[in-house]
Amino acid sequence: MLASIQRFFQQALAEPESGSGPAPTLELAVAALLCEVARADYHTDERELEAMRELLKRHLALGDAAVEELMALAREEVETSVDHYQFVSLIKQHYGYAQRCALVHMMWLLANADGDQDALEEHRIRQLADLLHVSHSDFIRTKLRAQEG
């Protein structure tokens, strides 16, 4: 028994990356951040899910089946992730500033989809915008643009 425990720790220390799974794709990172916004108020409305589908279809140019699979993977990733670092760092690495602002705009559109922009959703978007290094003025601009329609 002691030998099996010792073997487990040797494997875990020798291969620390093997248990963490594959790195997320850029598409999954975008979907995961949108999932974070949708679940920020602890209630995911069907209108929010439909808005997320449409945003992902438009932004990533994916079909219905691919979007459904991506949303399921994103939900799973968000529920098992400890923080947003892996998603945010991937987006910062591959998206320019204008694309990150567009992503924050998508977050606002998603938060407004159910007709009730919650303070928890706003707080989550603010956190994510800060992590994405989107300026406060652009954070506000994207919010106002999303409210206009």
Q: What is the pTM of this model?
A: 0.81
Name the band, by pLDDT with cuts 50, 70 and 90, for residue 19. very low
In words, the CATH class of domain 23-148 is mainly alpha
- Scored b (16 or more CB within 10 A) or e, 101-121 reads bebbbbbbbbbbbbeebeeeb
pLDDT per residue as tens digits for the range 36-49 = 999 888 888 899 99
pLDDT per residue as tens digits for the range 77-135 = 888 888 888 899 999 999 999 999 999 999 999 999 988 778 999 999 999 999 999 99
How distant is the alpha carbon of residue 59 from its chain centre? 14
Domain range summary for the chain, segments of one domain joined by +? 23-148
